Structure 1
């Protein structure tokens, strides 16, 4: 498995003290690990999860410990980093969510089932609205990182038929 050269992911979580003053509650590195079934070095780092919308900003629960589905939360938000090694191709998948994907490092191709590919670079955002898609790192040498904010959404319905989620696990 290739060694990931990208910098560690740090999360800084704020809160309030007893008098209502802002404070840093957590300042730590996010564990970045490969999901089951992936052997090429792709890794996920979970930064925060909420279990409701609107979110509870007074909870004393570390959001990273809240349960989620495969990738999303049915009731709240998920913030996840994904590091993709050179030549990585994700499976075609779909989530029942509205996803904001921001490119931080490298370049990626957003691949759709019709064969179209759209190159996205650092600073670009992809607004993924419940469509089938895959991610391709076209580089021979450069790793890529995206951070995603996933929000629950209504299912997409086409001609009276609800489009189902599709797993990233082949």
Structure 2
């Protein structure tokens, strides 16, 4: 069984002398761990549409992303089990302690493990291969399993 790393390798392509080349091949260095084991690696960001292919917009890595106006944000997230984060199950009617909202359209792909997507009214269990289209809703992630969940998220700035 292949283990997925907490921090991914990023390969960036580019052009040199009119030919396509590998411009960068390295482990991602824009990484945060705001809670032990909850590792967020920000892979790439843009700040315009259409995108300037020669520009990389580096922005601070934070638990709650601040997607640039007219931009995008690409992140890799390693989410440990709730019990490893010290998150206890909430009582009925109480919001999840990591509930948050961003003004973005998010495409989220579950790569491995499983996780619950929690909304203000309802929740659903997601497994590897599932895809979420998250449209600016108040939400949280709850990993109630014994293994980490890996997800990729692409966030696009949305109209307010």
Is the structural similarity TM-score above 0.5? yes
Unmatched runs of 5 consecutive residues or more in structure 1: 156-170
- Aligned pair 1:100/2:99, yes or no? no
| Superposition CA RMSD, Å | 2.0
The answer to whether the 8 A contact 1:83-1:145 is kept is yes
- Aligned pair 1:132/2:128, yes or no? no
- Structure 2 counterpart SS, 1:23: strand
The separation in 2 between residues aligned to 1:66 and 1:23, in whole angstroms, is 25
Higher strand share: 2
Which digits, 9 at most, give the CA deviation of each residue in 1:28-58, with x for residues without a partner? 11133213xx3x4211101001111111012
Normalization by structure 1: what TM-score? 0.76
The separation in 2 between residues aligned to 1:48 and 1:57, in whole angstroms, is 12
Name the structure 2 match of 1:143. 148
- Structure 2 counterpart SS, 1:74: coil
Normalization by structure 2: what TM-score? 0.80
Unmatched runs of 5 consecutive residues or more in structure 2: 88-96
Say which is worse superposed, 67-76 or 105-114, in terms of deviation.
Answer: 67-76
The answer to whether the 8 A contact 2:103-2:136 is kept is yes
Count of aligned pairs: 142
- Structure 1 counterpart SS, 2:98: coil
CA drift of 1:74 comes to: 2.0
| Distance of aligned partners of 1:75 and 1:111 in 2 relative to their CA distance in 1, 3 Å threshold | same
Name the structure 1 match of 2:119. 112
The answer to whether the 8 A contact 2:42-2:61 is kept is no
